[in-house]
Amino acid sequence: MRARLFAAFRGLGAGGLAALLVIAACAVGFGAAHVAQAAAAGASSDLLKVRLGGDATATRMVLDLGRAASGKIVSDGSADGKIVISLSDVSLPNGVDGVGQGLVRRWSVDHGRLTIELAADAVVRRRFLLPPSDGVANYRYVVDLQAPAALPNAKLTKASTAPKVAVARPAPPRKRVIVIDAGHGGKDPGAQGVTTDEKDITLAAARALKARLEESGRYRVVMTRDSDVFVPLETRVKIARRADADLFISLHADAGPDESTRGLSVYTLSEKGQERATRVMNNDDWLMKASWPGGGKTVGQILMDLTQRATKNRSAQFAETLLEHVSDETTLLPRSHRDAGYVVLLAPDVPAVLLEMGFVTSPLDEKQLTSAEGRERLMDAVGDSIDEYFVGQTKLASR
């Protein structure tokens, strides 16, 4: 499926089914991996333990830390088979080392640097820092190594007796895939205001957001619907997963019994919704297979748990960024960041939010949502939040 989102344990690239199995295998292997306890490292050290998992195709290394750290690659290992990463902002012990696993022969920490002695040719596929979350009290600095032959789109070349001069051209940056879901449609009108139906408001807003994102040239936008048609909720999630989406935004408009009630809110997946996603996948298998070839059901469940946790965290991060930007353009409901188990939020590997743009039963909100100018201002703010979110994800991945 996607190393990018499972690199949820950062924020990601492309991959394949093998990459998913590797990550799950890493999680299984961590329990038996070499551990350097903080007690052995010294009481003043921020290094709590070191864990490894994976095989000769891909290996993950996790440093559990007492505080946040930023890293810089000092040596990529191409010269001597040793990758060196300098870690700043943390106190590290000197002279701590251990045996490796998979692509790692040995590792050591000394003078603020992590040295990884490679067992075979490998490159650093990604690095990222995970903050404390969901019961994990410490920070985790993650290093993913991969054999060159296992990289996506890797090509084998034969040596030529007639050397050719090749001009290296930087690859254009990959466009982020944003799936915009205009709520309701067709036979499902949604909430009804004084002058319009929710389905018409959401479609107009979705088109405005699509135009805003495509204008920047940084995104590929996929719409779950671009006309007044009915699309089942499960199909909307499938569209996002087939598109290999980096972000899913479902646009809606609320309704209430009192016309004085107004304001915007954003929903992310609740704990009960997360449990619901697991049940759906186990029963219907329409989101993701729970049992991977060669991995077994246990590996599949571990993969699911890791992915859901990371995706849920990233959804919450985007929701907070979104609220910061739209608060300048519209009124927010009290407790504007909410959680629920809506079907459109269930994809385990796609960060997703459901945005209630306002109340169609409020004359003030309805006027803003049906006004081209008001709608575009609001969608511009949503677009700004998407820009900021991906800048933050890129910075986190580069640490």
How far apart, in whole angstroms, are the C-alpha atoms of residue 329 and residue 348? 31
Q: What is the mean pLDDT of residues 65-87?
A: 89
Answering whether pTM is above 0.85, one says: no
Helix (H) or strand (E) holding 236: helix 233-242
Residues 197-209, mean pLDDT to the nearest whole number: 97
CB 133 within 8 A of CB 313: yes
- 25 and 128 within one domain: yes
What is the reported pLDDT for 70?
82
pLDDT tens figures, 254-271: 999 999 999 999 999 987
Residues 216 and 109 in one domain: no
Report if residue 96 sits inside a domain: yes
Residue 364: how many other CB atoms lie within 10 Å = 15
pLDDT over threshold 60, residue 102:
yes
Question: Do 112 and 69 sit in the same domain of this protein?
Answer: yes
- 255 plus 379 within the same structural domain: yes
Angle 271-10-311 from CA coordinates, rounded to 5°: 20
Residue 160 falls inside a structural domain:
no
Q: Give me the DSSP letters along 321-359.
A: HHHHHHTTTSPEEEEEEEEE--GGG--TTS-EEEEEEEE
Please tell me the least confidently modeled range out of 31-45, 108-122, 361-375.
Answer: 31-45
Whether the CB-CB separation of 98 and 33 falls below 8 Å is answered with no
Mean pLDDT on 230-253: 94
3-class SS at 40? helix
Q: In what order do the strands lie in the sheet with 82-88?
A: 70-76, 82-88, 113-118, 104-110, 96-99
Residues 6+ apart with CB under 8 A from 278: 304, 308
User: Both 146 and 208 in a single domain?
Assistant: no
167 belongs to a structural domain: no
Q: How far is the CA of 254 from the CAs of 120, 124, 193, 330, 362, in angstroms?
A: 57, 46, 10, 14, 9
Say if residue 140 is in the same domain as residue 187: no
Residue 16: predicted pLDDT = 40
Min mean pLDDT across 44-53, 141-150, 282-291 is at 282-291
**Confidence check: pLDDT of 189 > 90:** yes
Task: Point out the domain boundary residue: 134, 150, 166.
Answer: 150
Determine the Cα–Cα distance for residues 320 and 328; give it in Å rounded to an integer: 14
Q: Kindly report, residue by residue over 325-381, the tens digit of the pLDDT.
A: 999 899 999 889 999 989 899 888 899 999 999 999 999 999 999 999 999 999 999
Mean pLDDT, to the nearest integer, of 239-259? Answer: 94
The Cα–Cα gap between 202 and 23 comes to 38
Q: Do 319 and 356 lie in a common domain?
A: yes
Per-residue pLDDT tens over the stretch 55-65: 888 899 999 99
Q: What is the CATH number of the domain that holds 142?
A: 2.60.40.3500
pLDDT of 91 reads 86
Residue 98, domain member (yes or no): yes
Identify the pLDDT of residue 20.
44
* In-domain check, residue 99: yes
- How many distinct structural domains can be found in the chain? 2
pLDDT at 13: 37
Q: Which domain range does residue 222 map to?
A: 176-398
Q: Is 52 helix (H, G, I), strand (E, B) or coil?
A: strand
How many whole angstroms separate alpha carbon 332 and alpha carbon 65?
37
CATH number, domain with residue 339: 3.40.630.40
Residue 306: band (very low, low, confident or very high) from pLDDT cuts 50, 70, 90:
confident
**One domain for residues 240 and 375:** yes
